[in-house]
Amino acid sequence: MPRLSPTPITLTERQGAVLERWARSQAKAYRLVQRATLIKEMAGGANNREVAGRTKRSRSTVRLWRSRWVAASPRLAVAEQEGGEEQLLSNLREEILSDE
């Protein structure tokens, strides 16, 4: 049976810049930094196995965060199109990458 490709992640320039800052941050919570790194890797076109290998996370963890980001992408797009303030957008991104 052929393997299905994971749902691609496309980041806006604004989202990419924020995730890049968070991935390099020493002030943000460790989990948020790790999740930002996962999303950046996924947006680079890597599949779940590749991302898991590069980030030393399990494939199930990578799948979880890919699906969460994909599910939340429409909310992010609407918030950005409506010209949301950067702080509100940042809060929304943090909410998406936080534990449920």
Instruction: Kindly report, residue by residue over 79-96, the tens digit of the pLDDT.
Output: 888 876 777 788 888 888
In terms of residue numbers, what domain contains 41? Answer: 13-83
Residue range 53-74: average pLDDT?
95
Burial class (CB in 10 A: 0-12, 13-18, 19+), 64: middle
5, pLDDT greater than 70: yes
Determine the longest span between alpha carbons in the chain, in angstroms: 46
Residue range 30-55: average pLDDT?
95
77, pLDDT greater than 90: no
In a domain, 5, yes or no: no
In a domain, 52, yes or no: yes
Using one digit for the tens of pLDDT, what is the confidence trace for 20-33?
A: 999 999 999 999 99
In a domain, 2, yes or no: no
Helices (H) and strands (E) in the chain, counts: 5, 0
